[in-house]
Amino acid sequence: MQGRALLIGNWKMNKTVEGSAGHARTLIRALEDWWDPKLVQVVLAPTALAIAAVGRILAGTDIAVAGQNLELGTEGALTGGISGYLLYEAGARWVIVGHSERRQHFAEDDALITEKVKAAWQAGLNAVVCIGETEAERNQGATERVVRQQLNLLLAGPLKGGLTIAYEPVWAIGSGRVPEPEEVAEIAAIIHGEVGARWPEAENRVAVLYGGSVNAKNLGGFLNQADVGGALIGGASLAAGEMAAMVRAAQQEGPRAR
């Protein structure tokens, strides 16, 4: 039996509001007539300014919208901040938390990321938390230690909302380099093991995605691994044709039932 794959397109700081809306329209057309949302769940994360416009275009389809980040709290003196409640109001039902670019450029650490996940749940959003080692950590053989460390605080409290964990080796993001699917499978099994140890009743509710230079050609290799439930996709999600090709690959190839 085939499981349901989850594909999340992270558009980062790309596309205007109009460009994002156009991209959503093109993708809807490209998926028409063949995409089965029961087999592949699709989520798009446009820039925050485009969430409402993209959400309006996707209304009535099975494609959901995500924020790329949120701040803590609901409202208050936080210039430039966007809360989970504002994301939800704009139409998002998902939010990416702790992307390596935010860890690197905005000094987000595991404590803040854990608080952001709680804020996401309070706002009714599914949280997608990114974890993964840097190239230096990989070269030191520290991948497993880093992944367990990044999960530690996150899994310490109770599970109170939707949680997806994206394993994204930092060195693979935007680089065109990818780990072997079997290496991803090993890490995905470790993540599932940690989740199952902390929340035995919820192990199967927490999907593990792979992210880092995914495209329509290599996606199937990752989805064929047990424990890998989908992908978080950056660059390749910016072209509607490539996104549609990834949905097709996911529909045909995975993920394997656990």
Residue positions annotated with a catalytic role? 99, 168
Residue 20 engages ligand PEP in binding (rule: CB under 6 A) = no
Residue 68 engages ligand PEP in binding (rule: CB under 6 A) = no
- CA-derived radius of gyration, the chain: 17
**Which tokens go with 100?**
């390596």
Considering the complex, what minimum distance in angstroms separates the CB of residue 75 from ligand PEP? 29
Residue 234 engages ligand PEP in binding (rule: CB under 6 A) = yes
* CA dist., res. 173 & res. 187, Å (int): 16
Q: Binder to ligand PEP among 10, 47, 150, 225 (CB under 6 A)?
A: 10
* CA dist., res. 152 & res. 144, Å (int): 12
Pick the stretch among 145-153, 218-226, 228-236, 246-254 that binds ligand PEP (CB under 6 A). Answer: 228-236
Considering the complex, what minimum distance in angstroms separates the CB of residue 249 from ligand PEP? 14
Q: Based on the number of CB atoms within 10 Å of its own CB, is 241 exposed (0-12), middle (13-18) or buried (19 or more)?
A: exposed
Three-state secondary structure of 154-175 = CCCCCCCCCEEEEECCHHHCCC
Residues forming a β-bridge with 7:
42, 231
Q: Binder to ligand PEP among 143, 150, 213, 218 (CB under 6 A)?
A: 213
Whichever of 84 and 212 has its CB closer to ligand PEP, that residue is 212
Q: Binder to ligand PEP among 84, 229, 235, 255 (CB under 6 A)?
A: 235
Pick the stretch among 17-25, 42-50, 143-151, 206-214 that binds ligand PEP (CB under 6 A). Answer: 206-214
Residue 39: which residues within 8 A CB-CB, separation 6 or more?
2, 4, 5, 250, 251
Q: Which positions lie near ligand PEP, rule CB under 6 A?
A: 10, 99, 168, 173-174, 211-214, 232-236
